[in-house]
Amino acid sequence: MNIILLGPPGAGKGTQAKRLEEKYGLTQLSTGDMLRAERKSGSDLGRKVQEVMDAGQLVSDDLIIELIAHRIDQLEGGKGFILDGFPRTVPQAEALDRMLKEKGLRLDSVIEMTVDEAALVDRIAGRFSCAKCGASYHDRYHRPKSEGVCDVCGSRDFVRRADDNPEAVKTRLEAYRRQTAPILPYYRAKGVLHPVDGMAEIGEVARQIETILGNPK
């Protein structure tokens, strides 16, 4: 099963992708995570995208398409994938179609996580995560059980994304409205688009997605 999680920054795509990995045995392909890993490794690509990412703008289609094509190529034989953060523009959606066709793969569902934009800035601005294991937290909604210690791995090191500041968040929401939202009609026309209420509690959003996808095979 191959699916796309679509929605603005802060909609909860990453959180739901992790749950779907566990429940359905799918592989999460997050272009944002891939780019952050490139930056951390200090590669040429990482240095190239640094400024654009921190400003909250989208990196070029060519670069992203090459990155994701390479990952899909490496996935032979798995149970399928969850695209998280890709595609984000119409040319990316068209390129994905061509890639899937070439490999004889199909796209089963596109889950659109709908959210109230006013709530997003608040959600995103408080996010932080464990530097060691990546577990996510929030200043107000989800603090570690023991202050300053990761619930999952016990580390005391936490990080915040450079693009989770109010200015970059505004640019990221604008990029979603102008460049990403236009791909919704593309998938609606193909009959694969399914909206879920991204403002609901995490477990409820997961239940709505599972109803759409059906039982794991």
Q: Which residues are catalytic?
A: 13, 88, 127, 161, 172
Q: Choose the binding region for ligand AMP from 52-60, 96-104, 110-118, 205-213 (rule: CB under 6 A).
A: 52-60
Sequence-ordered strand ranges (E) for the chain = 3-6, 27-30, 81-84, 109-114, 127-130, 136-138, 158-159, 193-197
Out of 7, 8, 12, 32, name the contact with ligand AMP by CB under 6 A: 32
Which 72-131 positions form the footprint of ligand AMP (CB under 6 A)?
A: 85-86, 88, 92
Per-residue binding letters, 3-22, with ligand AMP (x by CB under 6 A)? ------x-------------
User: Can you give the length of the chain in residues?
Assistant: 217
Out of 17, 26, 64, 110, name the contact with ligand AMP by CB under 6 A: 64
Q: At 144, is the secondary structure helix, strand, or coil?
A: coil
How does DSSP assign 150-210, residue by residue?
-TTT----EE--TT-SHHHHHHHHHHIIIIITTHHHHHHHHT-EEEEETTS-HHHHHHHHH
Residue (of 108, 114, 148) closest to 131 by Cα position: 148
What's the closest the beta carbon of residue 60 comes to ligand AMP, in angstroms?
7
CA distance 74 to 148: 37
Tokens at residue 13, please?
Answer: 């795509």
Out of 58, 111, 124, 193, name the contact with ligand AMP by CB under 6 A: 58
Q: Choose the binding region for ligand AMP from 38-46, 58-66, 111-119, 149-157 (rule: CB under 6 A).
A: 58-66
In the complex, the residues that contact ligand AMP under the rule CB under 6 A are 9, 31-32, 35, 52-53, 56-59, 64, 85-86, 88, 92, 163, 172
